Amino acid sequence: MAHPKESLAPAQPMDDAQVDRSAELEDSPALTAKTTKAHAPRAAGVVAVQPVTLLDRDHSILAFNERVLDWAVRDDVPLLERLRFLCIVSSNLDEFFEVRAEPHVNAVKHGETEGLYTVASFEALAAKVHDLVARQYALYNQVLVPAFAAHGIRILAHSERSAAHKRWVSAYFRREVRPLLVPVGLDPAHPFPQVANKSLNFIVRLKGRDAFGRENEVAIVKVPRALPRIVRIPGDSPKQMLFASISSIVRAHLADLFPGREVTEFSQFRVTRHSDLALDEEDVRNLRTALRQGLQQRHYGEAVRLEVSAGCSKFLSDFLLRQFDLPEAALYRVHGPVNLVRLTQLVDLVNDPALLFAPWNPVWPRQLVAGASIFAQLRERDVLIHQPFESFDGVLAFLREAVEDPQVLAIKQTIYRTGGRDSELMRLLGEAVRRGKEVMAVVELKARFDEEANINWAEALESVGAQVVYGVVGLKTHAKMLLVTRREGRQLRRYGHLSSGNYNARTARLYTDLGYFTADTQLTAEMDGVFNHLASQNRPPRLRKLILAPFHLHRRLLAFVERVGQAASRGEDARIVVKTNALTDEALIHALLRAGQQGACIDLIVRGACMLPAQVPGVSDNIRVRSIIGRFLEHSRVFYFRAGLQEDLYLSSADWMNRNMLRRVELAWPVTDAALRQQIIDESLVAYLYDDRDAWTLQADGHYAPPPHPQTGKGAQNALMARYGATKSEEA
């Protein structure tokens, strides 16, 4: 359906008045489209598409983590939050190695010189990671540690502890740590032990003979995960907060583990293993059982990275590299704990409000009247929830009303990432079963690193009588939808919720997402058809509003882009704005490049990996790519296309990646309500195009230019927080 009155301003520099208006997000029509030099439409006619080399995906992922690291560098960010961002980078790097590194490492092992993965590509990638890791530890040691000390917060090394501190640590070691440690001296009867993925360990070189008169020179000490990585030490004054790391506690008492022998060398170490589960789903009888068995082996996959202390001797590091069959460039010597991720415990232990962001309390969804029937409200209009500025409690209230309403007969929901054992949503689904309602849950067992939690939820729901299915063999069900069927008089009526994000109350406070409530007869009927398709695996239903991957989404998006390009070639108004988490699908990238070369004005808001080279003269100078890195993780997916008078606006669960288009069950749905369209355009697109505080801009050489005004500029997230009520809680 055409919406000729709507328009979307192309990205361009703003004067002070425009900056203020964008920052406040006043309720006004979208800005009138204007052309800029970078987005000037070309003359109508045939355009010869210029060839271009796409950016490297893995290097783009690392570039994203460099942008995240910048938040740990910024001195206007509260100190504990800076530490948190530092830990996020480490967590992201862990996942990068667990998922992306294996083919690179194998290329080195086999001496590959041609193809996508080669010795040269591994060395280039390793150099990038080594530099990023070095910057992390330099920031930690030279900036964050002194800053914490200035606030009386110190993680004491053994040499920094007073005699009283050492006595306390020694007693803690004997009481809490020593009983859990089993040092293993290596010899033919005691081979190198199984070392789990990302676990903390020590390698020790010994001098002297053991109890049997043998000189087993090397020993391994595994540190159980059950032990806290940061322990608080009694301070010398109330203003002090003193801590010790578990690695320093073990290190200080290594000699106690080998009485009668001399410890000559030692190092902490940590190995990262390939952890992406791969199952031949066609060849298993029960996916849940096969996955549970696979999870047991995940911790012992192929080694891809080795971290050791900076002072680790070459003898010990070479010994470990041989043991794990890794090339030299896979060795990372670090000046500090080998697992920075676990320093997030310090954030919780200190928990000083002065060193944290001011708490954000999402407001109750403004389009929902608290305490009134949500079903009745949806019969009047569709409703949009913009998380985390508005509360996920609106979704829980919708489900809770469905559970408690005796006229509700059935509830169907997809489950991708719902969180841990305390999920209120999952509890409500179980309660719905106990109240006699038909409950169907499509549980995605293969949600990466959430497999175990989802298996447990599937079993819990099945145990109370819910119908649980695992989607489609060979595909992940990534679509986010919740459908309620209610008896109203002599007919049944459906109420639906579609979302760009997961049904996870914790991440709903941290991720930006768009949730969409509707009682639209056609849309909810199509949702029901998709649920039936997932359960029966029959052919998907004919869909007029929903777009379903892997069947139609890729093709439809390509058609949308092509139509905009054709409009541009005719000299008509042509505009594309896409907000997504990643852009790596090559067909879509080439379609965007072609449309841009035809004269379309294109803005891409891509948080993470982006393989499209923007602003290359004569190739992509009509395309701008920006990445917003802020307090909240950008997660919403919004697709806007304008070709002449025809405008289309879609929300989706899918990123513009090949896996989302062809190997996942994904949904995109149109927004046709004029007011909701305008809200989405203003809040999720225009505000981000005018962001000069948190927006990094991709340059023609593949690098990202930092935000021009990171401390004083107008940020979209800040503007949305201001619009929805700053830190004032309005939750019902």
- Residues identified as active-site: 478
CA distance 274 to 298: 8
648: closest CA among 560, 528, 547?
560
Task: Give, in order, the Cα–Cα distances in Å from 55 to each of 91, 262, 607.
Answer: 24, 53, 15
Strands 303-309 and 262-273, by their bridges, are antiparallel
User: Using the 8-state DSSP alphabet, how is residue 38 labeled?
Assistant: T
CA distance 564 to 541: 28
- For 511-531, the DSSP string reads EEEEEEEE--HHHHHHHHHHH
130: closest CA among 259, 305, 361, 298?
305
Partners of 511 in beta bridges: 633
Task: Locate all alpha helices (DSSP H) within 505-616, ordered by sequence.
Answer: 521-536, 553-569, 586-597
CA distance 173 to 227: 11
Q: One-letter amino acid identity for 69?
A: L
Q: Which two tokens stand for residue 153?
A: 């917060």
63: closest CA among 715, 613, 631, 608?
608
Placement of tokens 């583990």 in the chain: 257
36: closest CA among 71, 11, 70, 63?
11
Placement of tokens 């007011």 in the chain: 675
Residues 210 and 188 sit within 8 Å (Cβ to Cβ): no
Other C-beta atoms within 10 Å of 615: how many? 17
Is the CA virtual torsion 695, 614, 589, 658 positive or negative?
negative
Q: Helix, strand, or coil here: 509?
A: helix
Residues 648 and 670 sit within 8 Å (Cβ to Cβ): yes
How far from the centroid of its chain's Cα atoms is residue 723's Cα?
25
φ and ψ of 364, to 5 deg: -60, 140
CA distance 542 to 437: 28
351: left (phi over 0), alpha (psi -120 to 50) or beta: left
371: left (phi over 0), alpha (psi -120 to 50) or beta: left
198: closest CA among 94, 102, 295, 277?
94
Residues 543 and 665 sit within 8 Å (Cβ to Cβ): no
CA distance 608 to 103: 21
Residues 201 and 221 sit within 8 Å (Cβ to Cβ): yes
CA distance 186 to 202: 13
Other C-beta atoms within 10 Å of 663: how many? 15
Residues 696 and 588 sit within 8 Å (Cβ to Cβ): no
Per-residue b or e along 123-137, where b marks 16 or more CB atoms closer than 10 Å to that residue's CB:
eebbebbeebbeebb
CA distance 335 to 140: 9
CA distance 99 to 78: 32
How far from the centroid of its chain's Cα atoms is residue 668's Cα?
20
CA distance 574 to 673: 22
CA distance 183 to 201: 10
CA distance 341 to 136: 12
